[in-house]
Chain A
């Protein structure tokens, strides 16, 4: 263990603890996917690997970008860039709830001191053509994790079903450390004369500048061209039988669409149309992935 559980974990301590915990449950610990995505679910280790019959257990941190959530670093709870901790287990093990609760214990949450609850929350991603049933997990009234049994991905039935856990790391860390602003989070602990660094030290400037870029600066024409280009490249790659490459372009198109929305250039009517286009790319990539693996029916 990297740190003592007696004092609240630092932000990186939280990640290290979860890595350690899920590693011990037999998960492959992956590194973040190197593309801009809106959520950990977009990582091909979740989207594509949740398809098909092969067992797959993994965990990773995924930096996630939601341009419209940017608040120029002025809101203590909202960020356009944040971290999700993602666990995917296929087939879903019979004791997945118990494993999850074990992870909460590992990061120092005592379920006889704090009120842990599984509250109905079904998940649906229109852009991924995916849905599942599950809960949001509450800790003292705060949602700390999304817990989902995937039923479909890319329009295909999940056979078998994968269990997905998505922890909101900043929120969980704020809770554990008892701070009111995300920027006050202790990122690490001081060691000797090397000082502790706060989340604000690391990310405040990023939030300020990226919010400005997302909302004001980003060139919409080149974003639009980028969207078209990614769409075309995705379709070409599907045709060429390289679904992993195609899926990268689907992710790219999805993020560019999010940026276009943040720039306010997509009308309500167009929005549904764009979502449909991204979904076609994601579904097409998934279909091609099923095809090359010989899982298509």
Chain B
């Protein structure tokens, strides 16, 4: 026996944005609660309108299954206390137990429960635990804070299993057959007989309970209205859903606005219509915005909607004239003058004003072009754009529509006759916003966008505002991904550590008017260096380990003091930031199918802060390890590494050895090996076996070849150099026993393996490679 169950939870208007999730949550919680009692519906349909959450569970059994549970008790010979305990536990008497081969057994019959009882318990539990994003108390019951919370006041419950009422009471709201129809078209009570007539009874009372049906009505009606007026609807699924969440009986209506407003940028008009008024936007046949809108009313108006269209048109006209006022007002002031007001806006409590940031961004953008990192013939354009990128933040329009930042700056820049490259850079410098967004390629835009993001990262890392877990309040992960995308897409060779060098922070922070490319030369200060600063009347001096390494004509501003702190800090932050980039790179490249262990393997070498080069190396590595040569070499490497580890040979240490990749990376490695067994000295002590000699010769040939190839950034070449080691390594392991009783032989063979490991590490840290 089964029946359909109807549940309707009626309340005051549920925010549109919460409805879809609430509907899913109700179905999920209901299914979970029933599953606990061993009940399952054939299928569940859920509905949501602004005033009700509803659910129909089709084919719900009327009873839960009867179950017979068997419990094993003590032996019949056990002391009396043990038996008493068992009887207490099972709630039976001794004569109800069964003696099976000297052991007491209890069989407890649990009869099936009526589903109505299960529901009467489950529904209040669901209501009390409902996960609304924001909930409230109300009415007389709210004299205690323990009272029921709901998204808005809960007003009624309909709960019918078949035609039978499921009795539910939650904080004074009791279940019944009655609900209400449309707020205005059908103000009275309507009575529901069962799940079967719910949808149609409500439809007769001007309520379309199915959100998908309301969406379909809005979409098709809006399209038809647009077509009738000779326009095309600009589709917007989010807006369709929002309007479906604001209406129980949606009636789209078309109105017009004064075409004179179309002189305002189209994005502004679209936002005004969409965000402020929740209207659909239309396109004319020429592809431009049409001077018309579609609003979605919640009634079938007596006059066919004329008053509603007139009223909405009036509200819209007032809003558009505000927007036009802002547009005209903002254009009266040049962006450079707007930018002056940025000194009044705090960028971050500890990081000064937006004007300070803009100054740094401008200088860094200029340097990116001047230093040849980004190729562009006009050096000053990037700096100029950099100084103006944030100017629109103080315009009236962006004050009204923050989401238009950047875009408005671009419009205003063009309106005052600035070069297109500058206007485009201002418009697009926030891009890319997250993965999947367009990545700018115009050089000035790239310079400014990179400078803005790098500056943000450097600044927040300098005050230890580093994202942790799910906390990333300043969207630094997004900024880092943006930097990576810009570098990779545009193939930009930018040694990041150079930018991250604290000296850069000092020099840029110093706000000196005349700066040159030299200002960006790194000071090369690293962990363990002793750094001293002093400033005389005209200069700012930096000493490293007692030696004057920089004499800068800058004032000791607060920003410079902060940069000092960075240099003095125990943790060398540029490396933290580089690691942060490494993590972002792994996430970003995952989608492109690049293995994160291979990125680790290359990053672990240290010294690599040019991400384009790093990726080229990772790609070559990935191609290599997927060949039989690569896979076998990896196996040989691991075998060698294991033996070395057992013998107490440390792995090569490679931790950010310096700024110049390749220069220091390999020469000192293998320092864990005692000097006297280095390969040159040890070989003469005994007659080596052929496989040893072959490997040694192969190494002699492969090492310089790999090094040269890496120097030339020919990573495939480096991989093929490594590939030549595969056969010699395999045959070494086949014919040579490393652990020879003769200490000299053993030492020489270990030294040879160490050479293999060092050679391989010139290309990548194979110990990081999985599989």
B-binding residues in A (CB < 8 A): 53, 77, 91-94, 97, 101, 110-120, 122, 132-135, 139-142, 149, 151, 157-161, 163, 175, 180, 267-269
Contacts and interface: CB of A to CB of B under 8 A. Distances in A.
B184 A111 contact: yes
Interface string B145-173: 10000011101000000000000000000
Contact of B308 (A53, A115, A119, A133): A115
A113 B153 contact: no
A160 B139 contact: yes
Given A161-B142, A267-B344, A151 B137 contact: yes
Nearest to B345: A268
A141 B138 contact: no
Interface stretch (B208-216, B294-302, B503-511, B595-603): B294-302
Given A115-B308, A141-B277, A91 B184 contact: no
Interface in B280-325: 295, 297-299, 301-303, 307-308, 310-312, 314-316, 318
B312 A118 contact: no
Contacts of A118: 12-13, 50
B307 A113 contact: yes
B21 interface: no
A112 to B, nearest CB: 5
A268 B308 contact: no
Given A115-B301, A151-B136, A268 B316 contact: no
A141 B315 contact: yes
B293 to A, nearest CB: 10
A157 B145 CA distance: 7
Contacts of B299: 111-112, 115
A115 B310 CA distance: 11
19 contacts: A112-B301, A112-B302, A113-B303, A114-B311, A115-B295, A115-B301, A115-B308, A133-B134, A135-B13, A140-B310, A141-B279, A149-B136, A149-B137, A149-B138, A160-B139, A160-B143, A161-B139, A161-B142, A269-B346
B194 to A, nearest CB: 27
Is the interface on chain B under 10, 10 to 19, 20 to 34, or 35 or more residues? Answer: 35 or more
Contact of B184 (A53, A116, A268): A116
Ranked nearest first, the 4 interchain pairs of A and B with the lowest CB-CB distance are: A140-B311, A120-B15, A118-B13, A141-B312
Interface string B329-347: 0000000000000001110
B315 A91 contact: no
Contacts of A139: 311
Interface of B: 12-13, 15-17, 50, 134-145, 151-153, 155, 183-185, 246-247, 277, 279, 295, 297-299, 301-303, 307-308, 310-312, 314-316, 318, 344-346, 349
A160 B153 CA distance: 13
Contacts of A161: 136-139, 142
A97 B187 CA distance: 13
A122 B152 CA distance: 11
B260 to A, nearest CB: 16
Nearest to B318: A77
B181 to A, nearest CB: 14
Contact of A141 (B12, B141, B145, B311): B311
A140 B303 CA distance: 14
Contacts of A158: 137, 142
Contact of B314 (A112, A122, A180): A180
Contacts of B247: 117
Contact of A112 (B15, B140, B185, B295): B185
Given A120-B16, A133-B134, A160 B311 contact: no
Given A94-B155, A133-B136, A268-B344, A160 B297 contact: no
A151 B136 CA distance: 7
A180 B321 CA distance: 12
Contacts of A151: 136-137
Interface centre among B151, B279, B307 (most CB of A within 10 A): B307
B347 to A, nearest CB: 10
A139 to B, nearest CB: 7
A119 B279 CA distance: 14
Contacts of A77: 318
Contacts of A180: 314
Nearest to B301: A113
